Amino acid sequence: MQLEALFQHPHALPTAPKIVDELVRSFDNPSISTEELARKLGADPALSAKLLRLANSAYYHVSRSIGTVEDAVLMLGFVTVRTLVISSGLVSGFKVVPGLNLQQFWRYSLHSAVSARWIARQTGENTELAFTIGMMHAIGQLVLHAAAPEQAMQLDKITPPFDARRIDAERVSLGYCYADVGAELARRWKFPPVLADTIAAFPAPLAGKPLNRLAAVLHLAAWRARIEENALNNEEIIACYPNEVAEALGLAPSIMVDKMPPPATLSAGLEELVR
C-alpha cells in the first residue's frame, strides 16, 4: 500500500484532539496567554483532571496542592503545562489499535520523550519540544496498524515494533517506514514544520546537511528507550551504541550508558500521562 493510499483508509487519519491541535500550533505563536490556555482546557474536563493529577504528582515536587488549571500554569509554567496537555491528548486520541499493545507503545513513547528531554538538556536544544516530538515520533506505527493491520501484523511477526530493524523491514516491505507516516500525519494535522521534519529525519539524522540536531537527539532517545524495552545486556548495548550520532551532537562517549539515568527513573511520576 502506497503512503498516499494508506491515508485514504477511513481509519488511518485520526483527528488530533482540538486542544492538542491548538497547543501544538502555539509553538509558532508565543502570544497565547495562560488565561486562554486555562479556558481552552476547561472545555475538556477529562484532560483538565488528568493535568491536575500530573501537576500534583511526585515528579514535580510542588510545595502546595494544585487545585485549578490556572494554579497548574502558575506553578509549573505555560510550556510545561502545554507539553503535558499535548502528550495526554495524543494518548487519549487512540483508544484501540489492531495488533498493537498500546500500554507498551505509550510507555516506549514516554521513555523516548524523557530521554529526548535529558539529551536535549545536554546539547542545548529545546527540551520541551524534544519531549513533545519524543512522544509523537512513533505515531506512524499507530496509523500503520490501524490502516494496514494485516501488513503491519505480518511485519510484527518478523520484526516487532520496537526492534531496531523495524524501520528497514518496513521500507523493504512497504517502501516507507513509520517515521515517514508520522511525518505525513504531522503535516496533515498542519503542525509546525519542525515536528514533521524531525520525525522524518530521526532514523538517519546524519544523512542530511546541515545536521538536524533535534532529529539526532530523537535518534539517541529512541535508541535509549528501545534498549530498555528489549532489556539488552551491556554487551548488546555497547554493540549497538549510536556513537557517530552522539559525536555529531558533541556528546561525550558512552554518556547515555554511564551518566544518563534509566528512562524509567526519568519518567517516574509521569506514568499518569500514558494511562
Q: Where are the domains of the chain?
A: 3-274
Positive or negative torsion for Cα 167, 173, 179, 182: negative
pTM here is 0.91
Q: Lowest mean pLDDT of 40-44, 45-49, 135-139, 251-255, name the range.
A: 40-44
pLDDT of 24 over the 70 cut: yes
Q: CA 147 to CA 98: how far, in whole Å?
A: 9
Q: Which range has highest mean pLDDT (87-91, 99-103, 240-244)? A: 240-244
74 by Cβ neighbours in 10 Å (0-12 / 13-18 / 19+) ranks as middle
Among 18-22, 106-110, 202-206, 252-256, the range scoring the smallest mean pLDDT is 18-22
Q: Identify the burial level of 209 via C-beta atoms within 10 angstroms of its C-beta, where 0-12 means exposed, 13-18 middle and 19 or more buried.
A: exposed
**161 cis-preceded (ω within 30 degrees of 0):** no
Residue 60: per-residue pLDDT: 84
The answer for 233, left when phi > 0, alpha when psi is -120 to 50, beta otherwise, is beta
Residue 99 has a CB neighbour count (10 Å cut-off) of 15
3-274 to CATH, choices 1.10.3210.10, 3.40.140.10, 1.20.140.70, 3.40.50.1860: 1.10.3210.10
DSSP letters, 107-159, are: HHHHHHHHHHHHHHHHHTS-HHHHHHHHHHTTHHHHHHHHHSHHHHHHHHHHS
Residue 12: pLDDT band by 50, 70, 90 thresholds? low
Q: How far apart are CA 141 and CA 135, in angstroms?
A: 12
pLDDT tens digits along 114-149: 999 999 999 999 999 999 999 999 999 999 998 888
